[in-house]
Amino acid sequence: MPLFLKKLVSFEDFNGNFNNIGQVHKTLACFNLGNETPLWKHWGFAYNNPNSDHAEQIILQELYTFLGLDQSNISLKYKLNLYTSYSPCFSCCKDLCSFLDTYKNQVSMHLKIAKLYKFYDSNNQRGLQMLRENGADITIMDLEDYKECFYLFVSPTDTFQPCPDLNHYSYGNARDMDLLWNEDESRSKITIHKSEICHCKGSSGGNESSSVFAATEFSTPESKKDNNEARKITPEKLHIAHGCKGHKGVKRKLSF
DNA sequence: ATTTTCAAT
Ligand SMILES: [Zn+2]
């Protein structure tokens, strides 16, 4: 397992996974678990296991093992900081929700994300929305977060040097995430309003309220038919591929 | 506003 406990991340791996704006085909996730005392109770990092486990799964497994022993100490309040080079996929979001549910009122989760993973996939978007609704604090890493992550997990003595345009990309990702949160909030009212009449499935029409409800119910896993036209955030490239010349892309589609 | 990405060649 590519899990490293109480060890620092190398400069090379930090730069290769966090401090870059390229397309990286692996994920690095760093975590620390603390409480009132200044010293971390547990910390480390993990890479994904190629073609097998996502980095979040590996860290969650470690946390279940670690916290399982502490189950008796109800009064303890843990704070989990999780830095991930990619945002969690839909499946990992569900796993993170389960973790929060398992340690309800015992562990708070603070997720700091470098880049959005396959954000065009509406399932991944819904996963992040669900995770947030389940109490996780989710943000895109800004320059200060990169600096902090570097300080905590790479070197407390060296100076973090952001790669060119890192701040610019971070800002763009943060904007995408804000749009997702805004979409989430405006739709949550619909979900509540329609919650009583959404039990009847099968009635097609694929209206938005039923799909929202399905998401809330965790009842739509990786359905391969991802041709969901209700998707709100779509890369401009997709529009171009479909022969649509819309330049506003995300912004336009989310204006409601 | 940068986009196909926890690969697959
Ligand atoms: Zn995942």
In order, the DSSP letters of A186-211 are HHHHHHHHHGGG-------S--HHHH
Q: Mapping DSSP to helix (H, G, I), strand (E, B) and coil, where does residue A153 land?
A: helix
Q: What is the CATH number of the domain that holds A48?
A: 3.40.140.10
Confidence label for A73 from pLDDT (cuts 50, 70 and 90): low
* Total tally of structural domains belonging to chain A: 1
In which domain, by residue range, is A98 found? 3-190
Give residue A104's pLDDT. 86
Sign of CA dihedral A15, A86, A82, A139: positive
- Domain membership flag for residue A124: yes
Provide the ipTM: 0.93
Q: What is the pLDDT of residues A173-191, one digit of tens each?
A: 999 999 999 987 777 655 4
A208 Cα to the center of ligand 1, angstroms: 25
Give residue A185's pLDDT. 77
**Of the candidates A161, A11, A17, A31, which has an alpha carbon nearest to the alpha carbon of residue A83?**
A31
- One-letter amino acid of A87: S
CA A66 – CA A159 distance, rounded (Å)? 32
CA A169 – CA A252 distance, rounded (Å)? 20
Residue in the structure block whose two tokens are 């407390």: A156
- Domain membership flag for residue A103: yes
- Domain membership flag for residue A232: no
Q: Does residue A236 lie within 7 Å of nucleic acid chain B, judged by its CB? A: yes
- Domain membership flag for residue A239: no
- Domain membership flag for residue A195: no
- Domain membership flag for residue A107: yes
- Domain membership flag for residue A214: no
- Domain membership flag for residue A177: yes
In the DSSP assignment, the letter for residue A233 is -
Which residues of chain A (58-117) touch nucleic strand B at CB < 7 A? Answer: 84, 86-89, 92, 115-117
CB atoms within 10 A of CB A93: 27
